[in-house]
Structure 1
Amino acid sequence: MHTAQDVSVSQEDKLVAALIYGISFFTAFIGPLVIWILKKDSSDFVDHHGREYLNFFISYTIYGLIASLLALILIGFLILGVLGIAAFVITVVGIVKAIQGDRFRIPFIFRLL
């Protein structure tokens, strides 16, 4: 996991970036997307975290669909459990890294945005 602390990030930008991850616990995709669209042009830091979260969401949705298909041969149930735990942990780490002012790069995701 690559992180680089950005000392020029305002407290507001840190909180907005953390909110992108935090609101995902309640709205999954829509909340982070709305925040990112509204704030991406005004803050490079928020843009970075918004892109990371949305790429993470897209990647884990694809992983979940593949695991669901594999559930037909039973191994998918294990993979779904691991994905659920990983998604929770990565989201919490994203919140912490955003508050600290780090540019968190989530591992094992497709960088589509």
Structure 2
Amino acid sequence: MEIINQQKATSRSDNGLLAVTHLTQLLHYCTGVGGFIVPLVLWLTTKDSVEGMNEHGKSIVNFQLSLLLYIIISVPGILLFGLGLLGFLFVGIIGFVMPIVNAVRAANGESPSKFMTISFIS
């Protein structure tokens, strides 16, 4: 009995794909949707074949869930002297800046920044 094609699946290094995955979070600002779904699909389909995709994908999902939690907390905060409006401003700025920072870090081969990110998925 002969075993044919017994090659181990190797992972490849693709920093460009990691950077694009981070930048797809900005689809919220362009289309209103897709800033969570597109990076999630990219992470789930390539986490085994691209080096670092599992770490970066988990970071993206944790960051998006954290932003959602901050928005939910900010809604009742509007009734408290308008502090929720500051929360919305904070989420808007952080949600725009951090994907760009993490895309640059991914393009340079560094691990993503965990600024204001709650670790839901470890």
Task: Name the TM-score class by shorter chain.
Answer: 0.7 to 0.9
Aligned to 2:25: 24
CA contact (8 A) 1:17 1:98 kept: yes
The count of residues paired between Structure 1 and Structure 2 equals: 103
Q: Which runs of 4+ in 1 moved over 3 A?
A: none
Please list the CA deviations of residues 58-99 of structure 1 after superposition, one character each: whole Å capped at 9, or x if unmatched.
011001110111012211101110111011111110110011
Gaps of 5+ in 2: 1-11, 28-33
Aligned to 1:15: 16
CA distance in 1, matches of 2:52, 2:36: 19
Which letter does structure 2 place at the counterpart of 1:55? Answer: N
Counterparts of 1:69-108 in structure 2, within 5 Å, are 69-73=76-80, 74-108=82-116
Q: With a CA cutoff of 8 Å and minimum separation of 6, indicate the structure with the bigger relative contact order.
A: 1
The Cα of 1:108 is off from its aligned counterpart by 2.3
* Deviates most, 53-62 or 101-110: 101-110
* Identical amino acids, percent of aligned pairs: 29
Which letter does structure 1 place at the counterpart of 2:19? Answer: A
The Cα of 1:105 is off from its aligned counterpart by 3.0
Q: SS of the residue aligned with 2:110?
A: coil
The Cα of 1:21 is off from its aligned counterpart by 1.2
Aligned to 1:62: 69
Which letter does structure 2 place at the counterpart of 1:80? Answer: F
TM-score by length of 2: 0.78
Could you say which structure has the higher helix fraction?
A: 1
TM-score by length of 1: 0.84
CA distance in 1, matches of 2:54, 2:45: 10
RMSD: 1.3
Gaps of 5+ in 1: 1-8
